[in-house]
Structure 1
Amino acid sequence: IEGKPIGVIQILNKRDGNFDKHDMAVTEIMAVLPATAIENARLYEALRLAVVTKMLGDISHDIKNMLTPVMTTAQTLQLMFDGLVEDLSALREASTDESELWKRVEDALAPFREFFYEGIEMILDGATSIQERVREIADCVKGIVAEPRFELYDVTDVAQKVLKALRPVADRQGVELRLERRTDVPKIWVDPKRLYNAIYNLVNNAIPETPAGGSVTVCLYFVNGDEPFPDGNYLMIEVADTGRGMPQWVKERLFTERAVSTKPGGTGLGTRIVKNVVDAHGGVITVESEEGKGTTFFMKLPMEPPGLKEQLEREQREEEKQRE
């Protein structure tokens, strides 16, 4: 098409004699038809991707704008509550009344104060995380794909942040969230933001699958002298629930493009996101599940991910440039 090869057609073994100019002319006509169909399919796919890209750009822009009043309101509420607490404290100090009233006010305010600050912090942290993800979408629309940014990090902190963010959701479902460490957990090189997304997706998926009274447990432990990594050392992250489990056909599709969600409104993207994060760390993810007995995901992360050496060398060169 327009001088560019689209594909190849090979014709062999003419019954009578050799191929002649007439045969060549017929072959060219035959070749044009599938070539045109292939090119049209490519153009259609390019058009479809262009529409999707534009839509993603518009959506990311709208989400960013919608988050601004959410964050501003949360910050304003925090300031207003700080002012209320200060005013009550000032009134208490100025008052000569030693009745039970002030004590009852303080007792009533104490748990509300703790929950309020935690709630505001969760709102702001969640909104900030959404903004960062929206920024990644906007970068993808521009053709910019961010590489993982590895840091020597305590994975326990990542797991604690995930459970803190999802505890209100779990409490409403009557599901207990647990964090266990079977061994000392050393710091390893990870991209903390991406790893947060991976653990968050697994725990968030597990909560609605777990009946009231059940639990979702994140377990961390260090493995020394085992496969599948060259040095035999890795960090294991297990996310286990006491939920309904999953059928074999769902399990087989979990980490593929054919992944499906069994939840109302689910997209099936969660486990693929997790797989992409684990792959970026050079790790391995597997799953064990039995219907009626729950599900456990196993994420094995090496101590040093691929690309770490190049990242550290690049950062060193940048530091040297800044010192010049």
Structure 2
Amino acid sequence: MRWLRSLSGRFLILTVLFVMLAEVLIFVPSIARYREDFLISRLDRSQIASLALLAKEDISPELQDELLRNAGVFNVVLRRDEARQLVLSSPIPAPITATYDLRDATALELIRDAMIRLATPEPQVIRVIGNPVRMAGILIEVTLDTRELRDAMIDYGLRILLLSAVISAVTAILLFLAVRSLLVKPIKRVVGHMQSYAAAPEDGRRVITPSAGVTELREAEETLQLMQTQLTSSLKQKDRLAQLGAAVAKVSHDLRNILTSAQLFTDRLEMSEDPTVKRMAPKLVNSITRAVHLCESTLAYGRAEEPGPTLGRAYLADIVSDVIDSERLSVGDGEVSFSEDIPGAMTIRADAEQIYRVISNLVRNARQAIVSSGTPGEINIAALETEADWIIRVTDTGPGLPPKAREFLFQPFHGRATKGGSGLGLNIASELVRGHGGELTLERSDKTGTVFKITLPKGGLENT
């Protein structure tokens, strides 16, 4: 049956079983106690029957038989003043098979004897010894048939089991209703919310509102609410990103054509005799060329991932010089100073355009952080060479990255290094470095400044 596989159905069955087990544990000592009370009652009735003989010595055999039948025994023996005296007696139909002394019997002995009696269906004659009531002697001893004793024990046991079954059923039903109300219904409500949310995860109205009264379920609902809220936000963000990507691809396509035309005009500027124009024209050409490449990369990114690097020999000092010259045009006097510590002859094996973008992103973030702090600062680009790697460090004296930016540093739209940023720069830079087989890491960021480390492996330089 289906309900047996449900939480409430299984809980109902387990409750019945556990209550029945508890009742069985109660039943065993109870039946032992009932047997002891039965035998003590026989002793008491036998002592009362013996009083007739003690009060009147000459009684008829018929009266003696009637007294023994009323007491439910075959004979009665009293010990008074160390003298054992047979008070009432009748023929015993079978030999005595066992003697039970109730005066010093332990609980375990009473339980053992009761279980043996229930397991022995054949009637037997037993001797029972006990203490007389009201100090009527030292002991009283009777013999009796076990048939009536066993029948009474079975009847008592059946009534106990019936009562246990009723108690188990009532307890199970009450617990079933309680569990259904406190656990099953709230769980079904959570499952219903999950199914509803799965049908339209972008609909913020379907996010669960915690309402459970049970602490654990409340915590589960709050966790689910947080997860659904974050997922809904991420889905909306991805949708906006997809729309933005389509728009950027269109803009980049047209912008590439415009920049290509501008590149033709800059070729004419190089023929000018003006010293300033001759000095600035190459940088303008380089900037427009990079813009064209960036548009082409953006179009490629819209179709797939960032294109792989075109590896070749590149002078790092030239790349860094171009980055610094471009950034100097964006700052006022005294706001940010730039310095470099690049060995002039250092040649790296890399895609010069992509490495320019990586360093430019890091320097731009550092410049914006220093300018937004309102305190003058310095940006330094240094490089060194080991046997296995080229290592480039971009260091600034800015205010450091905020905690949230450090937590999601290289994730798009999350790791915003500066206020108002898109969170794409570091993600793009990290991806470009990984394309070279290297790694971009944050070495330090605190109130004294920030240090980013670029590690580029040397493998294969000798083959280029």
- Relative to the length of structure 1, the TM-score reads 0.61
- Aligned-partner Cα distance in 1 for 2:264–2:321: 26
Q: Give the deviation of 1:242 after TM superposition.
A: 2.0
Q: Do the aligned partners of residues 12 and 119 (structure 1) sit closer, same or farther apart at CA in structure 2, a change above 3 Å counting? A: farther
Secondary structure of 1:296 counterpart: strand
Q: Do the aligned partners of residues 240 and 37 (structure 1) sit closer, same or farther apart at CA in structure 2, a change above 3 Å counting? A: same
**Amino acid in structure 1 at the alignment position of 2:368:** P
Secondary structure of 2:338 counterpart: strand
In the alignment, which residue of structure 2 is the partner of 1:223? 386
Q: Give the deviation of 1:199 after TM superposition.
A: 0.4
Unaligned runs of 5+ in 1: 1-10, 18-29, 86-112, 225-232, 316-324
Q: Do the aligned partners of residues 12 and 77 (structure 1) sit closer, same or farther apart at CA in structure 2, a change above 3 Å counting? A: farther
Secondary structure of 1:216 counterpart: strand
Q: Does 1:13 align with 2:5?
A: yes
Q: 2:276 aligns with which of 111, 115, 118?
A: 115
Largest Rg, 1 or 2? 2
Q: Give the deviation of 1:52 after TM superposition.
A: 4.1
Q: Do the aligned partners of residues 44 and 191 (structure 1) sit closer, same or farther apart at CA in structure 2, a change above 3 Å counting? A: same
Q: Give the deviation of 1:131 after TM superposition.
A: 0.7
Q: Do the aligned partners of residues 172 and 58 (structure 1) sit closer, same or farther apart at CA in structure 2, a change above 3 Å counting? A: farther
Q: Does 1:129 align with 2:321?
A: no
Q: 1:278 aligns with which of 433, 438, 442?
A: 433
Q: Do the aligned partners of residues 173 and 114 (structure 1) sit closer, same or farther apart at CA in structure 2, a change above 3 Å counting? A: farther
Q: Does 1:180 align with 2:341?
A: yes
Q: Do the aligned partners of residues 210 and 117 (structure 1) sit closer, same or farther apart at CA in structure 2, a change above 3 Å counting? A: farther
Secondary structure of 1:210 counterpart: helix
Q: Give the deviation of 1:64 after TM superposition.
A: 1.8
RMSD: 3.9
Q: 2:249 aligns with which of 57, 69, 93?
A: 57
- Contact in 2 for aligned 1:152/1:189 (Cα 8 Å): yes
- Contact in 2 for aligned 1:241/1:296 (Cα 8 Å): yes
Q: Does 1:202 align with 2:362?
A: yes
- Aligned-partner Cα distance in 2 for 1:287–1:59: 36
In the alignment, which residue of structure 2 is the partner of 1:252? 407
- Aligned-partner Cα distance in 1 for 2:258–2:289: 12
Q: Do the aligned partners of residues 68 and 267 (structure 1) sit closer, same or farther apart at CA in structure 2, a change above 3 Å counting? A: same
Q: Give the deviation of 1:53 after TM superposition.
A: 4.5
**Amino acid in structure 1 at the alignment position of 2:247:** M
Q: Do the aligned partners of residues 249 and 282 (structure 1) sit closer, same or farther apart at CA in structure 2, a change above 3 Å counting? A: same
- Relative to the length of structure 2, the TM-score reads 0.45
Larger RCO, structure (CA 8 Å, separation 6 or more): 1
Aligned length: 246
**Amino acid in structure 1 at the alignment position of 2:384:** Y
- Contact in 1 for aligned 2:433/2:456 (Cα 8 Å): yes
Secondary structure of 1:163 counterpart: helix
Moved more, 145-154 or 190-199: 145-154
Q: Give the deviation of 1:69 after TM superposition.
A: 5.0
Instruction: State, as a whole percentage, how many aligned pairs show the same letter.
Output: 25
